[in-house]
Chain A
């Protein structure tokens, strides 16, 4: 049944301002559900600005994705929110990667605890390569599906690479350190793997100004595996951490850092793809 009565402007104004009273207000609401003319007219009495603000907040809540665990941690330690968003998108900073890494290191740590010299060799093989693999899987054309489009943006590529490297080191090194607690006869030698780990990461970053990070990491991984394997065959896995070699790692690391400092701007050339 089509209604013949319509609300007047005074009633509508009182309703919109919240002064219509419960009886008139309820009657008007009932009427509005049936009368499109009055719905159209009452819209002219409503201040749309607050409504748009509310709607904007609703959309923001619904659409904006919740920050990931790594993103929240980065923000908590002072990384700007927009940088944290970019850093946390790295494959090797996802929760699944970190969980997988924790499980792997758990097995490697147990191997070191109960596997004799072979288990120790396995630990020494894996420990320095964990941050290298993490950085290799944080940036570059082989692992980043957005690499090509990411080249054509103004955001500093070196900044992104260094931020992700720092985040990978901050997440992976503590996990390896915890695993190293399982190494029997814990002594300073059980944590000297930190030096080659940092050196290899610096070498890989320097090499990635010429080639992709994954290629650099693969070459480093093979070279390190050969070294640890040879030491394990001699029943002395710790030979790869001999004092003389630690000095070599330190010198190599400093050299790599200097090369990186000089060449890092080459990561944003005209045309990074080939």
Chain B
């Protein structure tokens, strides 16, 4: 597997009408699956849009797949090698799942019908939608529509996959199936995955970037982020008012995530969610509620 840098962002700043979405962000990525975590408005979607070449930064430099997408030729070359799943995706009226992915395949320059249709079938089978590909997209469930949208991002097995909340609305069984597909893709491609689902990041990503108010708050291995919560998560009979977060678990014990041990509490193994809550504090809780 190549270990060359595929995405290099230097000093990226983006503002929307006075609101700062990203502030002087420096990040680089190599092949593998990286999870982007952060509260709503942290800058995750803006970051993905910039890497997907659909949004230009106000300042800073972007290098994708070894080149600067500054000229139309370089831009088209980069776009040939990337797959993008936006956060929200509409579907034209009347399109079937197959028809929609076929349409996207033409936009990705699959002009010859037979190989294009073979590729459409391949990606629909990858997301387990081969059997319902003749149904109209608008008649599919929310999770199925999300998988149709994900299928188009996989066309041509791209070197760079940018996925904004790919598992939203997908049922647990399919989510596990998609994790397998994405982890396989991450063996040779650079996969950036924006999500609110910490369990997806924990199960799938070798690296996690936590964004907050346009700044990078954490960038490292998932296990390293989890390790920051070691000794800060306890199970107790009562909630701890001083904890960052506290909730009653299914066993009747209260899980307290905080800086100090409440009286009579037993330490427990932290999760990525615990570490995320500790890192971002109240803003993370606001996002959890919103998500």
Structural contact, A145 and B91, CB atoms closer than 8 A:
yes
Please measure, in the bound complex, the distance between the C-alpha atom of A268 and the C-alpha atom of B54, giving whole angstroms: 9
B1 contacts chain A at the CB level, 8 A cutoff: no
B121 contacts chain A at the CB level, 8 A cutoff: yes
Q: Please, how many residues of chain B have a CB less than 8 angstroms from a CB on the other chain?
A: 47
Task: Tell me what chain A mostly uses at the interface: helix, strand, loop, or mixed.
Answer: loop
Structural contact, A270 and B102, CB atoms closer than 8 A:
no
Inter-chain contacts of A86 with B (CB < 8 A): 103, 106-107
B152 contacts chain A at the CB level, 8 A cutoff: yes
A271's nearest neighbour on chain B, judged by CB, is B56
Per-position 1/0 for B33-72, Cβ under 8 A of A? 0000000000000000110111111000010000001101
Inter-chain contacts of B80 with A (CB < 8 A): 154
Structural contact, A272 and B107, CB atoms closer than 8 A:
no
Structural contact, A149 and B86, CB atoms closer than 8 A:
yes
Inter-chain contacts of B49 with A (CB < 8 A): 271, 273
- Write 10 A-B pairs (CB below 8 A) sorted by A numbering: A65-B95, A82-B110, A85-B106, A145-B91, A152-B84, A155-B108, A268-B75, A270-B69, A270-B75, A273-B49
Please measure, in the bound complex, the distance between the C-alpha atom of A242 and the C-alpha atom of B236, giving whole angstroms: 87
A40 contacts chain B at the CB level, 8 A cutoff: no
Task: Tell me what chain B mostly uses at the interface: helix, strand, loop, or mixed.
Answer: mixed
Residues of A within 8 A of B (CB): 59-60, 62-65, 80-82, 85-86, 89, 91, 94, 144-146, 148-156, 265, 268-274
Inter-chain contacts of B134 with A (CB < 8 A): 62-63
B179 contacts chain A at the CB level, 8 A cutoff: no
Distance to closest chain A CB from B119 (angstroms): 13
Structural contact, A60 and B92, CB atoms closer than 8 A:
no
Structural contact, A268 and B86, CB atoms closer than 8 A:
no
Structural contact, A273 and B55, CB atoms closer than 8 A:
yes
Distance to closest chain B CB from A67 (angstroms): 10
Structural contact, A64 and B117, CB atoms closer than 8 A:
yes
Distance to closest chain A CB from B95 (angstroms): 8
Please measure, in the bound complex, the distance between the C-alpha atom of A155 and the C-alpha atom of B103, giving whole angstroms: 11
A158's nearest neighbour on chain B, judged by CB, is B72
A65-B98, A270-B62, A271-B55 are known; give 7 further A-B pairs, CB within 8 A: A81-B113, A82-B113, A146-B104, A149-B152, A151-B53, A265-B72, A274-B55
B90 contacts chain A at the CB level, 8 A cutoff: yes
Residue from the set B54, B55, B109 with the largest chain A CB neighbour count within 10 Å:
B54
**Given the contacts A64-B117, A148-B86, A273-B49, A153 and B99 also touching, CB distance less than 8 Å:** no
Structural contact, B54 and A85, CB atoms closer than 8 A:
no
Structural contact, A269 and B56, CB atoms closer than 8 A:
yes
Structural contact, B72 and A59, CB atoms closer than 8 A:
no
Distance to closest chain B CB from A43 (angstroms): 22
A153's nearest neighbour on chain B, judged by CB, is B107
Structural contact, A64 and B107, CB atoms closer than 8 A:
no
Contact of B70 among A150, A270, A274 (CB under 8 A): A270
A84's nearest neighbour on chain B, judged by CB, is B106
Inter-chain contacts of B95 with A (CB < 8 A): 65, 89
Please measure, in the bound complex, the distance between the C-alpha atom of A272 and the C-alpha atom of B54, giving whole angstroms: 6
Inter-chain contacts of A63 with B (CB < 8 A): 96, 98, 117, 121, 133-134
